[in-house]
Chains A and B, each alone.
Chain A
């Protein structure tokens, strides 16, 4: 958490691009080709949210159809033929080139990769064969199903990509979409994440991929084509954090200098239910543990400098441990809080000794400030994008802070369970994409994936 705050306090000016970029400024630059790639299984609820994301890109293209149409395009990769037809029909004749590609059910990668990486690799294979080829330097901007880049942020991203020599870049993600439709517990959980993106910036600028998120991820097309997403599997189990594994492969192939930070904000939505949120967290932790296990078996990794290897391994282990151990610490703190408060008040009244030594109290205060500060920061960024009165936004920030002890516990117990299961050798994975509409969330049969 200290590293989050180090980035927040000392390097906040590098976190996001604040200077507005207009079309005239872009026209003076040698802009690269940009393909926005949305990878989906085509499950219930995905069509609507994908449409929202593309409509925002389209709204930028309509500002100057000839200019933006010359380098900006959207590619949707889906397992649903019907969904692909819908997108192809809807955007035909618009200033934006939108191509929907159907992932054949029979498609198998050479390494037997499954889940999302299989779809990602299918696109790579198509591109290697010349599908949608565009001459010149090209970047692929990876979206999740629900991702939105507002036109202003997209312009900033284009401007930055015109000048960068980096091959793989990321930017911050906030969670204001469908915000008030989701559970308050989920909103409080998502309030933790924007500050974590401050560390993403540090990680990306220093080129050591302790983590990597799969959306708001921009990859130079040639680099992605060289690398591919055929990440295989781990002892027969598919990788469920393909973004993290890809980041490690990119690091081994391109070195730290390939990584960069673009600072354009992407908007996404919190999970609708606590169950979805917990499943998501569980998946993250298992995915990272899988990636670390894979790393240990790679010859390229063993050839790296010892200190760098330790940094990668122990840095990630430390992060996973912090996440998981928040569960017992949070439970203990909730249980002992009444006793602790009573004793503290008695001490301040001069009626008893302090419950803990002064340095420990100072440490507890510091951790408390950083933890609640994280919630304040994340909730602020998330609600800043809501079209609601200021009083409602203030109330929402207060709500997130109040529910934080419970939300934190619910979140970290999912991570704790994932680590325990991993240590006990239970390594079977099951993956259900986080539902993107309330109706889809209610309809999910979570037991079916087991």
Chain B
């Protein structure tokens, strides 16, 4: 694994960990306390609360994956800038592999797979008011 990918992965893991901690504060602990009068065991309450939140997350992600198209062209947008005299942005469309978590893995798509639609050139002589 390249250092860049390792750093990105570590950053993602750190943010994910922090988000889990936040979820524990806002949802896990209140849920554990809510069921404590029934279960009467704090460790068991925390376990049940954690499993419940995990299942809720898995359920949400399943729906998200279902409602995110499995294969779709990705538009790469070049950010337009004022006073742009360069050719109009080309829309690069790339067929993308079905992502495992509903994400596109565009970095794994070889550049040779890319194709572009040439659009007419425009020269910006001035900007509107």
A interface, CB within 8 angstroms of B: 8-9, 12-13, 15-16, 18, 20, 42-49, 51-52, 55-56, 58-59, 62, 78, 80, 82-83, 86, 89-91, 93-94, 148, 150-152, 177-178, 181, 337, 341, 344-345, 347-350, 354-356, 358-359, 361-362, 364-365, 368-369, 371-373, 376-377, 380-381, 383-385, 387-399, 401-402, 404, 437, 439
Contact = CB atoms under 8 A, between A and B. Distances in A.
A358 B37 contact: yes
Given A59-B117, A93-B120, A387-B104, 19 more contacts: A12-B67, A13-B66, A47-B128, A55-B89, A56-B75, A59-B93, A62-B119, A80-B128, A344-B32, A347-B33, A358-B34, A365-B30, A380-B64, A390-B101, A390-B104, A390-B105, A394-B16, A395-B14, A439-B82
Contacts of A373: 56-57, 60
Given A55-B89, A369-B53, A398 B18 contact: yes
Given A52-B80, A369-B53, A388 B106 contact: yes
A376 B76 contact: no
A150 B28 CA distance: 40
B57 A376 contact: yes
Interface in B3-25: 5, 8-9, 11-12, 14-16, 18-19, 22-23, 25
B31 to A, nearest CB: 4
Given A344-B29, A358-B36, A384 B73 contact: no
Nearest to B23: A372
A302 B34 CA distance: 46
A403 to B, nearest CB: 10
A392 B93 CA distance: 21
Contacts of B127: 44, 47
Given A354-B33, A361-B30, A392 B12 contact: yes
18 contacts: A18-B69, A44-B127, A52-B80, A58-B119, A82-B128, A337-B25, A341-B29, A347-B33, A348-B45, A361-B31, A369-B27, A373-B60, A376-B60, A380-B68, A394-B16, A395-B8, A398-B15, A401-B19
B84 to A, nearest CB: 7
A348 to B, nearest CB: 4
B99 to A, nearest CB: 7
Contacts of A399: 15
Say whether chain A's binding surface is mostly helix, strand, loop, or mixed.
helix
A387 B106 contact: yes
Contacts of A380: 61, 64, 68, 102
A208 B77 CA distance: 37
Contacts of B77: 52, 177-178
Nearest to B9: A391
**9 interchain residue pairs of minimum CB distance:** A398-B15, A48-B80, A83-B128, A362-B34, A365-B31, A368-B26, A368-B27, A361-B34, A365-B30
Interface in B44-74: 45-46, 49, 53, 56-57, 59-61, 63-64, 66-69, 72-74
Contacts of B102: 380, 384
B53 A391 contact: no
Contacts of B104: 384, 387, 390
A345 B25 CA distance: 10
Given A348-B36, A381-B64, A398 B19 contact: yes
Contacts of B32: 344, 348
B22 A372 contact: yes
A52 B119 CA distance: 11
Contacts of A150: 72-73, 75
A93 B33 CA distance: 68
A323 B61 CA distance: 26
Contacts of A13: 66
Nearest to A354: B33
A385 B19 CA distance: 22
Contacts of B91: 55-56, 59
Nearest to A9: B63
Nearest to A383: B103
Given A392-B8, A395-B11, A12 B66 contact: yes
B67 A398 contact: no
Contacts of A393: 103
A15 B67 contact: yes
B98 interface: no
A356 B37 CA distance: 12
A387 B122 contact: no
A291 to B, nearest CB: 30
A18 B70 CA distance: 9
B23 to A, nearest CB: 6
